[in-house]
Structure 1
Amino acid sequence: MIRLDKRILTHFDFVQPILILPIVILSYILIFEANAVLANKQLVYFGVGFIGFCAFFLLPIRKIEWIIPAIYWLNIILLISVEIFGISKLGAKRWLDIPFVHFTLQPSELMKPAFLLMLAYLIKQRPPDEEGYNLRDFLRLSFYILLPFLLIAKEPDLGTAMVLLLMGYAVLFVIGVNKKIWISIFVGLAILAPVLYENLHDYQKKRIADFISEKPSYHVQQSIIAIGSGGLSGKPKDEATQTHFKFLPIATSDFIFAYTIERFGFYGGCVLLGLYGLLIFHLLSLNYKLKSDYFTRVMTTGVAVLIFIYVGVNISMTIGFAPVVGVPLPFYSYGGSSFVNFMVLFGILQNLLTFRFDKMYRLVSIRFD
């Protein structure tokens, strides 16, 4: 039996569950209204995610951080294995088949927590000086960012690859890199933009073409109709015709924000965005509280940036401001991999915050009765 000392609660960050739980509850209500079968499956994902949160919350991460490089390289091996042994779905080779159990594994999803932990480990081992990281240290850290980016982009899964890339360099921006390096990068990207575009896959170019065309794609058109029909205060469940008559595609996952507006209107959308905004702001504000704890700062910044990217891209695509990609809303869209991943990340984050003093680990005991 696991027994927690009550003193641990003094360091537990209660703001996170206070902001996350309303998002989860509202998500379940909408998924249940749209499809009761999917809602029952989502309950299973909730349970698995909670178990994942508890497992990583109780794990003595600071005492076993030496194992983090091995976890990172194991995930790199899995990404390489996708190229050799992976199975293809819809033209993309992103999954590994697990023998005998009829399940598939997507290593790019596993890479997200491993990637953040590796950055935290490296930055803790060699923190920046007052002027930020110099070119040599920047290139060293860039190697660990670009390696999974290239492997995932090759699958091809440019969406997940770009999420890791942006998250990695956003963390470095917050932690500190010499400003001359950033200026050089922005100038280089501006010059190389046409070359990068020409090397995209045809379906990726089509998404960009659909985005910049005068007429949005069918999916986005239906999403905009659903958002417009919601008005200020939304519609009753039986009158949310865009969703219940199947005009709005993938209403429980990719376009769940459009369904939210159709049901709860502009006010409901503002509440949802407000919860995400407060969560992101709270996580970033922890940087000021934990100035010398680089390990925890990397994790809080990384999770905040990850949520910002997912929310920004998902909502932008539902209103036609970004190409349609499979980026879910954290804790909100239907699906298991995203929800469990974020629960694991928050389990790690709460562990680092709650047990940020080594002596706190002694307040957790495991007894077998």
Structure 2
Amino acid sequence: MRRIDRRILAHFDFVIPALIVPLVLVSGWLIGEIHPLLAHKHLVYVGVGAVVFTFFFFLPVRRLSWMIPIFYWFNIGLLLAVEFFGHARLGAKRWIELPFVHFTMQPSELMKPAFILMLAYLVSRNPPPYGGYGWAAFLKLSFYILLPFFLIAKEPDLGTATVLLLLGVGVLFLVGVRWKIWLTLAVGFIVSMPLIYTQLHDYQKKRITDFMSEKPSYHVQQSIIAIGSGGVVGKAKEEATQTQMKFLPIASSDFIFAYVVERFGFMGAVLLIGLYALIIIHLLGISLYTHDPYIKVVSASVSLLIFVYMSVNIAMTIGLAPVVGVPLPMFSYGGSSFVNFMILFGMLENLMAFRFTELYHRRGKKSFV
């Protein structure tokens, strides 16, 4: 009978699933309280996420690294196809319908793992010298960051585009870029802010205007009321009137944090944010203490992605950021975001567990499984 190679289990990071599982369980429970039908669909998404995690964990990422540029450019092609063949919804053209099956897909979501793998591939082929990357290497890496940013922003989907931009900049900062470059970019960004504002769509300007106004929008008002009504320890399900009486909009996805606080109060919010903090710190620790460029970039990317999503979502619900469609990572209802995170975690676990090259090239010997 074939057995699992013990060296794989020795290098598997059990801390990651130990921190993720509580998020998934609690989110499924709360979504069931808000809308039982959505809870059943969410359970399907969790099952799909578990399958893709397993698939990407056993996928030999390093051995197939030559395919990463192909995967990246394929997704760039999908983003370009959105411009010509995409379906528009609510004024945005972000989806492509697959022929014969009448199923729509959002290429910007598929771009996230391709984007992260491409950065890891480029850094592994050209590691930063002592003192960090200079202008030549920085501009080359920036091309691969800015290309999907502009294509996604044109859909328009400025939220996802900005997340990718922040992700790319954050990875380069952690990997190492000379400080003079960062100073030049910071000054250039500040000077060009008025020009950037003029290029925004009207609805994007309205979001900023609503955010800057003294009175928050209806969505944010109801969210703040729900958060305030939770008190220190929260309320029972029947007493959480903001959600149960449908005053709180999009309670199962964009504003699920408000429901968490209404149900479990300030203490519940602290515990949830603390759990995210543990995940982020753990992943950053992996990135900072490894010399493997693939592990460094992927773990840093996942950490930054969780931090940006969590920060923006929570700030949005309490009126400290404009309302954008950014989910609470692995907590909000929805399949694409959750499955994407499972893909990334599966690849990261693969890179750590199969980190030794000889494990990929054993022939005629005991199999891994």
Q: What interval of TM-score do these two structures reach, taking the shorter chain for normalisation?
A: over 0.9
Change in Cα spacing, 1:248 to 1:257, as seen in structure 2 (3 Å) is same
- Cross-structure match for 1:156: 156
After TM superposition, list the pairs within 5 Å mapping 1:142-181 onto structure 2.
142-181=142-181
Rounded to whole Å, the distance in 1 between the matches of 2:275 and 2:339 is 20
Match of 1:210 in 2: 210
Equivalent residue, structure 1, for 2:266: 266
Partner of 1:308: 307
Distance in 1 (CA, whole Å) between partners of 2:292 and 2:40 is 41
Q: Distance in 1 between matches of 2:257 and 2:366?
A: 40
Counterpart for residue 66 of structure 1:
66
- Which residue in 1 is equivalent to 2:93? 93
Q: Distance in 1 between matches of 2:6 and 2:180?
A: 48
Cα deviation for residue 364 of structure 1 reads 8.1
Q: How does 1:1-369 map to 2 (within 5 A)?
A: 4-290=4-290, 292-361=291-360, 362=362, 365=367
1:4–1:364 contact (8 Å) kept in structure 2: no
Q: Post-superposition shift, 1:366?
A: 7.5
Contact 1:8 1:360 (C-alpha < 8 Å) held by counterparts: no
What does the per-residue CA deviation read over 1:278-302, in whole Å, with 9 as the maximum and x for residues that have no partner?
A: 1000000112331x21111000001
Once residues 335 and 319 of structure 2 are traced to their aligned partners in structure 1, the CA distance between those partners, rounded to angstroms, is 26
Distance (whole Å) between structure 1 residues aligned to residue 109 and residue 135 of structure 2: 30
- Tell me, in whole angstroms, the C-alpha distance in 2 between the residues paired with 1:259 and 1:325: 18
Unpaired stretches in structure 2, ≥5 consecutive residues = none
- Take 1:239 and 1:365, find their aligned partners in 2: how far apart are those partners? 56
| Whole-angstrom CA distance in 1 between matches of 2:196 and 2:76 | 24
Q: Secondary structure at the match of 1:156?
A: coil
Displacement of 1:137: 0.4
Tell whether the 8 Å contact from 1:45 to 1:340 is kept in structure 2 after alignment.
yes
Q: Distance in 1 between matches of 2:336 and 2:165?
A: 20
| C-alpha deviation, 1:2, in angstroms | 8.5
Which digits, 9 at most, give the CA deviation of each residue in 1:206-226, with x for residues without a partner? 000000100000000000000
Q: Distance in 2 between matches of 1:228 and 1:100?
A: 49
- Alignment TM-score, normalising by the size of structure 1: 0.97
Letter in 1 for 2:11: H
Q: 2:111 & 2:246 partners in 1: Cα distance?
A: 34
The residue type paired with residue 161 of structure 2 is A
Q: Which amino acid is 2:177 matched to?
A: V
Letter of the 1:334 counterpart:
Y
Whole-angstrom distance in 1 between the partners of 2:184 and 2:206 = 30
The one-letter amino acid of 1:170's match is G
Relative to the length of structure 2, the TM-score reads 0.97
Consecutive unaligned residues in structure 1, runs of 5 or more? none
- Percentage of identical aligned residues: 63
Find the residue that maps to 1:88 and give its secondary structure.
Answer: strand
The count of corresponding residues between Structure 1 and Structure 2 is 366
Output one character per residue of 1:71-110: Cα deviation in whole Å (capped at 9) or x when no partner. Answer: 0000000000000000000000000001221210100000
CA-to-aligned-CA distance 1:133-161 (integer Å, 9 cap, x gap) = 00000000000000000000000000000
Report the AA paired with residue 216 of structure 1: P
CA shift for structure 1 position 3 = 5.3
Structure 1 residue 359, shift from structure 2 partner: 2.6
Task: Give, in whole Å, the separation in 2 of the partners of 1:154 and 1:122.
Answer: 25
CA distance in 2 between counterparts of 1:62 and 1:278 reads 28
Q: Distance in 2 between matches of 1:118 and 1:302?
A: 11
> d(CA) in 2 for partners of 1:310 and 1:359?
37
Q: Report the CA distance between 1:6 and its aligned residue.
A: 3.0
Paired amino acid for 2:262: E
Contact 1:211 1:323 in 2 (8 A): yes
Secondary structure in structure 2 of the residue aligned to 1:63 = coil
Letter in 1 for 2:4: L
TM-align CA RMSD: 1.3
Q: Distance in 2 between matches of 1:252 and 1:365?
A: 44
SS of corresponding position for 2:195? helix
Deviation string, structure 1 residues 321-359 (Cα, Å, up to 9, x no partner): 000000001110000000000000100111011111123
Give me the whole-angstrom Cα distance separating, in 2, the residues matched to 1:4 and 1:156: 47
* Alpha-carbon shift at residue 124 of structure 1 (Å): 0.4
Which whole-Å deviations, capped at 9, do the CAs of 1:158-187 have from their partners, x for residues lacking one?
000000000001000000001000000000
Deviates more, 1:247-256 or 1:98-107: 98-107
**What CA distance in whole angstroms lies between the structure 1 residues aligned with 2:3 and 2:232?**
48
Deviations 1:290-315 (A, max 9, x none): 1x211110000011000000000000
Specify whether residues 366 and 282 from structure 1 end up closer, same or farther in structure 2 by C-alpha distance, changes over 3 A only: closer
Provide the C-alpha distance between the structure 2 equivalents of 1:286 and 1:236, rounded to a whole number of angstroms.
39
Name the SS of the counterpart of 2:192 in structure 1: helix
